[in-house]
Structure 1
C-alpha cells in the first residue's frame, strides 16, 4: 500500500467518525452472530488506525485496542483481501504478534471495504486452537463484513437522503445505477437528465443578497414541481447544491424527454419564486444499462448542461463530438505542463517585420510551436487559448520570454540588431510582479529593454483595467516596448486606447488579407492607421501576402508589414540566413 493510499484510507476512516465511539448493539449483534456461526470464542469488528487496532465491537476480548504492528487485521486493511491463518504459531510473521502471545492460534478476517475501495479493517473471528476454514464459512464471514459496512454507512452522517430536498443523494445514485443492471436487460437504452437550477454566477450573486435560505427554497420548489410533472416516470437524486440528476423510465424516448423537460423549464414562472434571477438548464445523457458507469453518466450529463448554457438554450443532449473536443482540451492542458518541463517539445520560430519605407527588417515576432511525441504538431491557436485560461499562463509566458531573450542575445552577439515581439496573455497583466520579472530576465540575458516588445490584445488590456494599467505603466517606465495586437477585433474604448502607454498598433490580418479587392478594408485600414498615428503609435499591418497588399497598406499609412510576402515563421538558423540575405539586397 502506497503512502498516498494509506493517507486516503486513514482520512476516510476518520471522516466516518467511528474511532473511540461508544458500543453499539447494532454492531454487537453482527459480532455475536459471527462467533456463533464459527463456534469460536472471539469475534470483532476491528478498525485499523495509524498505530493500533480499535474494536468497534468485540466478543471474548476484554480490551478495546491492540497494537497495529503484526496484527492480522492490519494485514487485511493493507491488502483489502480475505486473510486466514490456520495457526499463528506456525506463521513466521505472526508468531510473535500480540495475539499469539495471548493464546490466539486461529484467525480469519474479511475486509471492511468502502465503495471507494478503502479497507477500514476487518470483520474477524479468532480461536485458541488451530483450525481450517470451509468455503461456506468464508462466504458467511464475507457476508457478515458486508453487513457491518452497511451498518457503518447507515450510522454515518453521509446518509442516503438529502435533508433539504428529501431526495436520495449522490451515494445512493451510484449504488442504484450499479443495481440497475441486475433488474434491467443489459444494454437497455435509458436517459439521464441533469438539471442545474442556476449557473454558478447567478447562484453566488443571489445567495450573497438573499442568504442560504434562497438556495433551500429554490431546490424545494423545483423538486416539488418536477415530481408533479413526471411522477413515477423519473427517479430523482440530489447530487449537488442546486443540481439533481433524474433517471427516466425506459419507455420515454429522447424526443419526448426533451419536449417535456423544455416544457417544465419554461413553466418556471409558475413554480419558481426565483425565476427573475436564475436560468435553469438541463442536459440529457443517453446511456446503456450495464455498459456505462454511473459517474460517467453524470459526467456526460454535466457536459450537456454546459453545452446548453453555452448555446443559451434550456436543454442540450450529450454530444460525443463535443465531449471528444473537451477531452482533447483537457489532454492538451495536461500535456502542455509536461512539455514545459520536457525541454524538447516546445520551440520558438520567428516571422520578420519589415519597414515599408525602406524594406529593411526591423523586427520579428516570436511564435510558439509545440511538437508532441504522440500527438504531433499542435497549433498554438488550439492550445494557447486553453493555457491562457489556467494557472499555466504564467510559466508558459516565462518560458517564451526566456527563450526569446536567449535568442535575441545570440542574434545581438551575431550583429543582428532588431526588436523582438512576444505575445503576452491576459492573466500576465494581473500578476503584481510581472513587470519586475520581465526586467529581471532582461538583465539576466544582457538585453536592453528597448529590444523587447510585448504584444497585448485590446481585450486583455481592458479585462481588468486598473491592474493592467499598473503593469503596463511599470513596463513602460522600464523601457520595454508595448504593442497592441489584433487591433480592430477587440472591444476598443477610444478613451482607454489613448491612455495605454503603447508604442505600436498591429492591425489584425483579417483587415489586410483580401484588401486588394475590398475597398471597405482599404478604408478601414486607412482609418485605423490615421487614428493610431494621431495617438502616437507606429502601425504594423499583419497578414501581408502580396506585393499589391504591401503597396496598399503603405498607401493607407502603415509603417511596417508582416506576412508571407516576406517570409513565413522561420527557425532561428533560417531566420539568420534570411536576415543576412535580405540585408544584402
Structure 2
C-alpha cells in the first residue's frame, strides 16, 4: 500500500470512529431501511456494513446471524476502498471473490452502494446478497443508491447536534460542507459563484485578547457578529460558523465580483464603525470565486481563508483569493512541513563554508558554516526561504542541533588535518530560550575534543530582544564556557549603546546591507565608519559582510575594520574545497572585481 493510500485509509478510519457507530446496539431506523432493501431486491440477505480496519461490522442486518466478518476479500471492503457501486452477478465466477468467505458460505450474488460522508470518506456499504446468481436492473441500482443515501441521512441525523454551533446558533462547518455539495449537484455546472469568509480578528488580536480579557469577551464578539450577519443576509440565505471566529456564506447566484466586492466593503465599513470591538479587533473578508460542479468545498474554504489573511494588509480589509500568492505561500509552507524528514535523511542537508579574512594580513582566519537544503522535489532551497519559518517553528531546536553537530564534526576533521580556523555558527532566538543550551554546547565540544574558542556563535539582535532577560542570561552562560559570541546583522535591529554595552560579545558583524554599494554612498561610508569605531571602542572585533570589490575593501581597511567576508574573496564552498582554497594567499588574489576571483576559483 502506498503512503498516499495509507493516509487516505487512516483518514477514512478516523472519520468512521468519530461517528461512534461501531459495536453499538441495533436501531429500528437502520433496520427499517435494511428490510426495505431485502424486499425491493427480493433477496434473503441485506445489511448496513461498516468497514473497520480488519472487519466488516453490521450496524443492521437481515438474514445474517453474525455481527461481523473478516474484511479480507469481503466485497464491502472493496466498496470502502473504491467508494464506488459494486455488483457481482456471481461470486464463483469472479476471480477475486470466488475464494472469499462469502462464496464459501454459499453466497453467489452481491450488490453494494457506498456510504459516503460529506467529506468524501466511505464508511462501508448498503448491501444485498443472494444465494443464486442474478442480474441487476438499472432501477434496482438506483434504488440501492437511494437506500444508501437514506442510511447516511440517518447517520448524519444522529449527529445533528454537531451541525449547529451552540454559541452563535448558526449552522457549522459540517453543514456548510453538506450544503456546498448540494449546490454543486443542484446548480448548473460552470456557474460562477463567490464564497465569502469573514474573519473577526487577526491572530495577534485574538492572542492579546485571550491574555487580557475575560473569556466572555470572545463569546460576545462572536454573538454580536452572528446577530449582525443574520440580519444582513436575511432569512432566505445561510451564514455558517466555520471556525471559532470565522463565518462563511455563498453570495447569491448571479453576483459578480466587480459589483459584489464594493457592496461588501460598504457593509463592512458600516459594521466596523458600529461595533463595540472596533478598537481591539479588525475584521477581514476573503472572497474565493469558484465554478459550481467543478469545485472542492474544502479547497474553496481554504482559498477564502487565505484571502481573508491577505486582507489584513489591505486598506479595505477585503481581498480576493490570489492563486499567485497562494502558490508562494504553499512554496514556503512545503519546506516547513518537510524539514523534519530532511533532518532524518542522509543526503538533503549539508553545510557550506564561507571564509572570513583578516583585512590587515589578508589571511583566512575563520569560516562561517551555512546551512543548505536540497529538497527531493523542489530542488535547492535557499536559507532565506526556509530558515525564517523554521526558526519560528518547533523545529528550530532540532535544526540548530543538526548544524552544531555537523559543524563540530567538520571542525574536528579540519584540525586533525592541521587546519586551525575558527568556525562561526548561527543560532536562533529559540536556542537562547533552551535552559540547557550552554550545557549541551559544552558537552558537544568535549565530545569532539575541541577547545571552546574554536567556535563562535552568531546571534542576531532581534533574536536577543525577543526575550532579552532570558537571552542575556543564556549569553552570559555561553560566554562563561569560553565560546566566542558575535552580534550578527549589526545595524538592522536595535543597535542601542546600552545593548552593545550589556552584550558579552567578542565580535560585531556589520550587515551586508550597509556594505554593498558602500564605495559610491557617502552616507553609508559615514555610518559604517561610525559603527566600526563605536564597536571597537566597546572592545569588539568588527567584521564587514558582503564585501564584493576592492574599493569597499580599501575603505574598510582605512576605517580600521578588522575582518571582511563576501563574494570578493569566495562564495560559500563545500567542506572538501575549503582547504585547497585556503592554501592560496588571499592577499595575492586579484580583487578588482568579484569576477576575477571567481575565475581564479574555477
Q: CA deviation at 1:300?
A: 1.4
- Aligned partner of 2:404 in structure 1 is 401
Write the mapping of 1:71-220 to structure 2, written as runs, cut at 5 A. 77=80, 80=83, 82=85, 108-126=111-129, 129-135=131-137, 136-157=139-160, 159-207=162-210, 210-220=213-223
Q: 1:529 aligns with which of 528, 532, 542?
A: 532
Q: CA deviation at 1:51?
A: 7.0
* Residues 1:578 and 2:598 are matched in the alignment: no
The number of residues matched between the two structures is: 582
Q: CA deviation at 1:130?
A: 2.5
- Aligned partner of 2:325 in structure 1 is 322
In structure 2, the CA distance between the partners of 1:457 and 1:15, relative to structure 1 (3 Å rule), is same
Structure 1, unmatched stretches of 5+, are none
Root mean square deviation of aligned Cα: 3.4
Match of 1:249, SS state, is coil
Report the more deviating stretch, 130-139 or 461-470.
Answer: 130-139
Write the mapping of 1:32-431 to structure 2, written as runs, cut at 5 A. 32-48=35-51, 54-59=57-62, 65-68=67-70, 77=80, 80=83, 82=85, 108-126=111-129, 129-135=131-137, 136-157=139-160, 159-207=162-210, 210-231=213-234, 235-269=238-272, 271-311=274-314, 313-372=316-375, 375-431=378-434
Q: After superposition, what is the alpha-carbon deviation per residue over 1:91-146, rounded to whole angstroms, capped at 9, x for unaligned?
A: 99788959976x8776544333323444434323355x524242233332222122
What is the CA–CA distance in structure 1 between the aligned matches of 2:179 and 2:289, rounded to whole Å? 17
What is the CA–CA distance in structure 2 between the aligned matches of 1:569 and 1:104, rounded to whole Å? 71
What is the CA–CA distance in structure 2 between the aligned matches of 1:51 and 1:345, rounded to whole Å? 37
What is the CA–CA distance in structure 2 between the aligned matches of 1:292 and 1:48, rounded to whole Å? 28
What is the CA–CA distance in structure 1 between the aligned matches of 2:19 and 2:376, rounded to whole Å? 45
Q: 2:468 aligns with which of 440, 465, 470?
A: 465
- Aligned partner of 1:502 in structure 2 is 505
Match of 2:164, SS state, is coil
What is the CA–CA distance in structure 2 between the aligned matches of 1:3 and 1:254, rounded to whole Å? 40
What is the CA–CA distance in structure 1 between the aligned matches of 2:326 and 2:100, rounded to whole Å? 57
What is the CA–CA distance in structure 2 between the aligned matches of 1:406 and 1:312, rounded to whole Å? 52
What is the CA–CA distance in structure 1 between the aligned matches of 2:333 and 2:79, rounded to whole Å? 37
Match of 1:498, SS state, is helix
What is the CA–CA distance in structure 1 between the aligned matches of 2:54 and 2:575, rounded to whole Å? 60
TM score, norm. by length of structure 1? 0.87
Q: CA deviation at 1:85?
A: 6.5
TM score, norm. by length of structure 2? 0.85
Write the mapping of 1:507-526 to structure 2, written as runs, cut at 5 A. 507-526=510-529
What is the CA–CA distance in structure 2 between the aligned matches of 1:251 and 1:89, rounded to whole Å? 55
Structure 2, unmatched stretches of 5+, are 589-602
What is the CA–CA distance in structure 2 between the aligned matches of 1:66 and 1:352, rounded to whole Å? 69
What is the CA–CA distance in structure 2 between the aligned matches of 1:344 and 1:49, rounded to whole Å? 39
Q: Is the 1:365–1:420 Cα contact (8 Å) retained in structure 2? A: yes
What is the CA–CA distance in structure 1 between the aligned matches of 2:477 and 2:546, rounded to whole Å? 31
Report the more deviating stretch, 195-204 or 393-402.
Answer: 393-402
What is the CA–CA distance in structure 1 between the aligned matches of 2:71 and 2:356, rounded to whole Å? 72
Q: CA deviation at 1:503?
A: 0.7
What is the CA–CA distance in structure 2 between the aligned matches of 1:154 and 1:123, rounded to whole Å? 17
Q: Is the 1:235–1:248 Cα contact (8 Å) retained in structure 2? A: no
In structure 2, the CA distance between the partners of 1:32 and 1:481, relative to structure 1 (3 Å rule), is same
Q: Is the 2:490–2:508 Cα contact (8 Å) retained in structure 1? A: yes
What is the CA–CA distance in structure 2 between the aligned matches of 1:491 and 1:305, rounded to whole Å? 32
What is the CA–CA distance in structure 1 between the aligned matches of 2:237 and 2:531, rounded to whole Å? 59
Q: CA deviation at 1:487?
A: 0.6
Q: Is the 2:361–2:587 Cα contact (8 Å) retained in structure 1? A: no
Q: Is the 1:233–1:249 Cα contact (8 Å) retained in structure 2? A: no
In structure 2, the CA distance between the partners of 1:51 and 1:571, relative to structure 1 (3 Å rule), is closer
Q: CA deviation at 1:468?
A: 1.9
Q: Is the 2:118–2:181 Cα contact (8 Å) retained in structure 1? A: no
Q: After superposition, what is the alpha-carbon deviation per residue over 1:481-522, rounded to whole angstroms, capped at 9, x for unaligned?
A: 110011110123432332222110011122223333333222
Q: After superposition, what is the alpha-carbon deviation per residue over 1:125-177, rounded to whole angstroms, capped at 9, x for unaligned?
A: 355x5242422333322221221111111112464333333333222322333
* Residues 1:454 and 2:454 are matched in the alignment: no
Write the mapping of 1:535-546 to structure 2, written as runs, cut at 5 A. 535-546=538-549
Match of 2:189, SS state, is coil
